[in-house]
Structure 1
Amino acid sequence: MALSREEREQFLAEPHVAALAVDEGEKGRAPLTVPIWYQYAPGGDLWIMTGRDSRKGRAIAQAGRFCLMIDRLEPTIRYVSVEGPVTETIPATRELLQEISARYLPADKVDAYVDMAWKSHGEQVVIHMQPQRWVSSDLGAL
């Protein structure tokens, strides 16, 4: 059963690890698909953080859009896939790294991770995407 708008937006707002897919424009190759953290509040844009010159960063810049697919297995099989255009790319800040890290890591691990990542991951960017196309289902509703 498809999720309502409210249900899919609430699910997307939960801290799941997403599968990012983006077309790299190479004939004969499937889209680049990798796991990634994301941030989202219902009704707004979502954002990811990645290296400006990373493979996914370059592919998103070239394509101008990407897709995230988020799923869970318990208590029911549920997923949301959202795709849309890039609306903004800005330099990452330590505060945004702190925000997204706190969404996924235990509180006692966040500061150490942020210190390490800020020093060693190189130049990062935050890429905003406007959700445009949605596919969703909850198989527990059957």
Structure 2
Amino acid sequence: MPTMTTAERQAFLAEPHVGVIAVERPDRAPLAVPIWYGYEPGGEVLLWTETDTVKHDLLKAAGRFALTAQVEQAPYKYATAEGPITAIEPITADQATAIAVRYLGEEEGLAFAAQNVTPRSILIRMRPQKWLSTDYSKE
């Protein structure tokens, strides 16, 4: 299979794809849910979520997760990054705005972040340590 280079997979993950996180849970299949995320090449994956949810509780308990982003039309591409959670902290307005603007554009992103940051809003950071990737455009 044609894999991506380190630079290619980091650049790919930095594009605004809807990601899917997977986190283990006891006695069931892993929880896999779509999510908006933030990422800059060489940095941490940033998730905006809420405290005291199934997702937050499982992430906190597992201490790690995997994130997959993909292109859904040919030529297909995907990158999966997995690693440990490095921090769970209250999200700042600037952090939430950056994630919302990434997916919705400036005007809608600003409005979305202003309406959806609550006292329960948190930022979860993950440092990618292992990667899987495929880029069928290289065939």
TM-score bin (small chain): over 0.9
**2:58 is paired with a residue of what secondary structure?**
helix
**1:111 is paired with a residue of what secondary structure?**
helix
Aligned counterpart, 2:86:
87
Determine the C-alpha separation between the residues in 1 that align with 2:9 and 2:127: 15
One-letter code of the match for 1:23? E
Aligned counterpart, 2:19:
18
Percent of pairs identical after alignment? 37
Aligned counterpart, 1:52:
51
Q: How many residues align?
A: 138
Q: State the Cα distance separating 1:139 from its structure 2 match.
A: 1.1
Aligned counterpart, 1:124:
121
1:141 aligns with 2:138: yes
**2:108 is paired with a residue of what secondary structure?**
helix
The RMSD of aligned alpha carbons is 1.3
Aligned counterpart, 1:4:
5
Which consecutive unaligned segments of at least 5 residues does structure 1 have? none
TM-score normalised to structure 1 length: 0.91
Determine the C-alpha separation between the residues in 2 that align with 1:108 and 1:32: 32
**1:76 is paired with a residue of what secondary structure?**
coil
Determine the C-alpha separation between the residues in 1 that align with 2:114 and 2:40: 26
Aligned counterpart, 1:107:
106
One-letter code of the match for 1:43? G
Cα-to-partner distance string for 1:59-82 (whole Å, 9 max, x where unaligned): 000000000010003462000011
Does the 8 Å CA contact 2:102/2:109 hold for their aligned counterparts?
Answer: no
Q: State the Cα distance separating 1:50 from its structure 2 match.
A: 0.7
TM-score normalised to structure 2 length: 0.93
Q: State the Cα distance separating 1:96 from its structure 2 match.
A: 1.0
Which consecutive unaligned segments of at least 5 residues does structure 2 have? none
One-letter code of the match for 2:3? A
Determine the C-alpha separation between the residues in 2 that align with 1:44 and 1:112: 26
Cα-to-partner distance string for 1:1-21 (whole Å, 9 max, x where unaligned): 010000000001111110010
One-letter code of the match for 1:49? W
